[in-house]
Chains A and B, each alone.
Chain A
Amino acid sequence: MTATTTTGSLIEATDLAKSFGRSRAVDGVSLAAAGGVIGLLGPNGAGKTTLLRMLATVLAPDAGDLRLLGLDPARSAERVEIRRRLGYLPQSPALYPGFTAYDLVDYVAVLKEHTDRDWRRHEVRRVLESVGLQDVMHRKIRGLSGGMKQRVALAAALVGSPELLVLDEPANGLDPDQRLRLRSLLSQSRTVLMSTHNISEVGALCQRVYVMFAGRVHFAGTPAELAGLAAGRVWEDERQDPQAVRSWLTATGTYRHLGDPPAGAQGVDPTLDDGYLMLARRAHP
């Protein structure tokens, strides 16, 4: 796969909107990405899946401008070209249980217009090895565990080494060992847009993060900047503090508080969780 465009931004979305009936799933989202792994963080129902579907050219936006790889998905010829260079992993992929893992990835490779059988065989093998399924590639999908099924779908998204990867909760069902592998897998594509509701994944995998609540973006920046939102607003104590906005018991037995610290409080460096909570607090006061 060679990149024929050299435009700076691989994803350029301006004021995207999508409604289903009366509910506005995505309400004016703007997003730009030009390489690296971008995380889309937010609770369930925040509109992440709808946004990702639009970015994967599976769903047409109701309003707004979208450019992927410099091309316009609203035009059919350009859309086909985008799809040739794109890999998509939906949430809860429905894979036909009667296919083997090999069958499925091979089928998707065919849909991606890879007609050379020998090339396909090597590529399907390579991608299944990269997700650790080389031993079970000829087993039927119904005989695979949940984590393995997820990895089959991931392999299908990765086949052909697409430039742009759109992944909806890719780490779903993977064990910690495989999550670590995910990082090296993601580095193969130029731009990866992945959603998660797990904050630690953002820290481990993403260079940039967008936080979404109720169809809107409330934050865009690096993970460090997200943590920085809670700078100076986190302290730890031996006991609970009713003045804090949020308090919880940590694993070490102390209490961690978020809010306006009282004088003399033991301030600590904010983590991603703290920053996210701060943001959530502001979004839903």
Chain B
Amino acid sequence: MGNWLRSALAVAAKDIRLELRSKTSLLSGTVFAALVLLIFNFARDPTGLSALDLAPSALWVTYAFASIVTLNRGFAVERENAALDGLLLAPLPRGALYLGKYFANFVFVAFIEAVTLPLFVLFFNLDLSTSWWGIMLVAILATAGFLAAGTVFSAMVIRTSFAELMLPVLLLPFMVPPLMAAAESTAHLLGGRPLSEVMGWLRFLALYDLAFVTLCGMTFSFVVDE
């Protein structure tokens, strides 16, 4: 068990180190997310829809797309010099490979979300003083949900011709339950409701995360192994 976890962490550390060298995915993901938020702000009629009404949807659509953009990078990096073969040759449990990739993806998306949140507060003129940590909790759970099936699909679509197009086609239905839960919870929290009122949604998210990470880890071998 210790070895298993160590392998997963080694894979995650390797991915994080790689990304920190080139920074391409982090930078483009952050810029993308900022632009999406900007567009939401410009595209609404300030007299028609209040900032508070639009804010949760804007935030979560942004975060969802940022996740997709980041996921696309996940296995692309293993194509150079057939690095994926190097991983598969090793006595690396495929579930550990999945978890390592998943964790690295999570770190990247968390970074993008953290950087974008102040922009969100700024653009939509919000006060997060009481609700920020509740929103952070929602963000952690929902992002974990986005990336669960996302990591599996990103490994699959690498083998297809239109990888960047295929990933959203496959993934979006899977993103809807966590997206719905996140948007609802965020709306409640932004409206000043206490965290206890969104516990149902948080439990839902936690269950979703657990169920999908487990099943995805178990089926990952069928995706990467011949």
B is bound to A: no
Interface of B toward A, CB cutoff 8 Å: none
